[in-house]
Chains A and B, each alone.
Chain A
């Protein structure tokens, strides 16, 4: 295992930018959900397991509002 040294990837939603296009939820339902107004929220604390990193990257690349950020702890 290399998890001791590899940084943990987290996704974050910039709520001021998100307009509820919902593209992230379609592309990565494990990582994103929608609130009652249809704006995006991250699931849990946004930690992206290694097997979902490709989906996270895809969701970020398809957000029309550039509302998804990556953070590495």
Chain B
């Protein structure tokens, strides 16, 4: 991705790929909430940006006007590529989603707890005695690649390849359509081979389970299978990696919260929800397929809309002290996993990974902080989280 041109006014020329947003989006949203709660841009061939919880919620509930057939905002519209069910609308959406839902319930995730704990412990072992590590690169990203690979039954040795795919699709590909289409093809080729291997020799992994799945009594065709598996890889890695990195950054820079959590592990469930609220990594887009109005603003067909769940979760009309992290926040209807029919299917896995990763980290490294003169870098694009996070302990 080339450097983005400077933003003249965030209300009329917003660019969520611009480094000002990537580095610190909170003042941008605060400003917009005061003077223009639905921003617009002529970039990306036209897109809207609501920043109020109520408006984001209304759009998420309205697939008739706001289609999921395009969910990534790019400089130009590309041919539709299907990643069911996230790119599906009613009526097809529900049956596709029902195939995946049973594989990701809390009960389905619980048996993986021991393996996830082993992964986290093994990583902490590598750096606990060194007194320094990169919390994002050495810990968060390694956990989510290893766990996602384990669930799909693929090798985590290809972690670098998976991360390149994510970066090419969601970051570099913003202004490079050829790269996006090439990456889709590369992923399809990779997973067609994996699917053929599972057909010959099924296991307990999710690809094998999807081979048994039926929609209207018919097995999934190759396009559906590849689409779903590609989605699971993309959705499973940089999302939780980002959320966990933000947790570590917060705890590294807020000693009071860190010590409170170490002293009282029973706070962990509300703390995880609160950190998810305050540092929600994921935004997702919709394509407007029929003219409508939300929050008193017109939304024109053919344009895109960015649903920043992070912005929704910082809306003071929905959350008292929205910009403050309150580890025991009792009422927290956060939208970190989305709202409505596309609620993140992997949310229970994400919570489990985050909980175990923080437990294992804090058990060994209860005291840590940002390295002196540390430069924290953030990912650009739909998924926002720390990518470089130098810590000392």
Contacts and interface: CB of A to CB of B under 8 A. Distances in A.
Interface of A: 19-23, 25-26, 34, 36-38, 58, 61-66
A26 B340 CA distance: 20
A38 B331 contact: no
Interface string B336-377: 010111010001100000000000000000000000000000
A36 B106 CA distance: 10
Interface stretch (B20-28, B96-104, B206-214): B96-104
A63 B348 contact: no
Shortest Cβ-Cβ A-B pairs, 8 listed: A38-B105, A19-B343, A37-B101, A61-B331, A64-B333, A36-B102, A38-B101, A22-B106
Contacts of B106: 22, 25, 34, 38
Interface of B: 98, 101-102, 104-107, 269, 273, 330-335, 337, 339-341, 343, 347-348
28 contacts: A19-B339, A19-B340, A20-B101, A20-B343, A21-B337, A21-B343, A22-B105, A22-B106, A22-B348, A23-B273, A26-B269, A34-B106, A36-B102, A36-B105, A37-B98, A37-B102, A38-B105, A38-B106, A38-B348, A61-B331, A61-B333, A62-B273, A62-B333, A64-B335, A64-B339, A65-B339, A65-B340, A66-B333
A37 B106 CA distance: 10
Given A62-B273, A63-B333, A64-B337, 4 more contacts: A20-B343, A34-B107, A58-B331, A61-B331
A34 B108 CA distance: 12
B339 to A, nearest CB: 6
Contacts of A65: 339-340
A62 B102 CA distance: 23
A57 B207 CA distance: 40
A61 B105 CA distance: 22
